[in-house]
């Protein structure tokens, strides 16, 4: 991804062409939009109250340019969560590291694990054995604790945390 200006980037998506990503700052939130030759007008990509979340999405797109949503109505969240096969995102040992570093409870990690593995919130609640509304309350508490405002940002925060832990551990071994 190439930076064009302070608020614009050029993303070259394989087999689809080039897209311009723009950062807009509003009164209480940030918004990323993108525009390409195959689109009529700019399309919403992501919005958040926290600039760290926006930067995490930009970093993710830089590493995975083909993750840019292709069809109308899809979002970066759908691309990352719903269009991938269900899988264990993190191993048990990694969850333990993330749990201790971010200060999450075992139940909160279990909730994140279910949602990150592609389950809807209703299915995740049923799998864990709690009410859908209770799961929602737990997710809001998790967001507050790790300073994010949506599930995509929580996912990226956990991956960033694990990456940071692994870098620290590899530096200790060197």
The structure's pTM equals: 0.58
Give the model's pLDDT for residue 85: 46
Strands 2-5 and 17-25: unpaired
Residue numbers of the chain with a pLDDT score lower than 50? 83-85
Give the model's pLDDT for residue 88: 57
- Which H/E stretch holds residue 80? none
Give the model's pLDDT for residue 86: 52
Q: What angle do CA 58, 82, 45 make, to 5 degrees?
A: 35
Give the model's pLDDT for residue 91: 76
What are the φ/ψ torsions at residue 42 (nearest 5 degrees)?
Answer: -70, 150
- Which H/E stretch holds residue 9? strand 8-13
């Amino acid at each position: 991804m190439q930076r064009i200006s302070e608020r614009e980037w050029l993303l070259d998506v394989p087999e689809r062409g080039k897209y311009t990503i723009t950062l807009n700052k509003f009164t209480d939130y940030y918004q990323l939009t993108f525009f390409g030759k195959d689109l009529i007008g700019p399309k919403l990509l992501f919005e958040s109250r926290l600039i760290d979340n926006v930067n995490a999405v930009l970093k993710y797109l830089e590493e995975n340019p083909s993750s840019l949503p292709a069809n109308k109505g899809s979002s970066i969240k759908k691309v990352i969560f719903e269009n991938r096969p269900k899988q264990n995102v993190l191993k048990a040992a990694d969850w333990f590291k993330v749990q201790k570093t971010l200060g999450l409870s075992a139940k909160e990690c279990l909730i994140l694990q279910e949602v990150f593995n592609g389950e809807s919130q209703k299915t995740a609640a049923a799998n864990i054995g709690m009410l859908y509304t209770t799961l929602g309350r737990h997710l809001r508490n998790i967001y507050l604790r790790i300073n994010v405002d949506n599930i995509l940002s929580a996912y990226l925060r956990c991956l960033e945390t694990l990456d940071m832990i692994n870098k620290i551990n590899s530096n200790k071994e060197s």
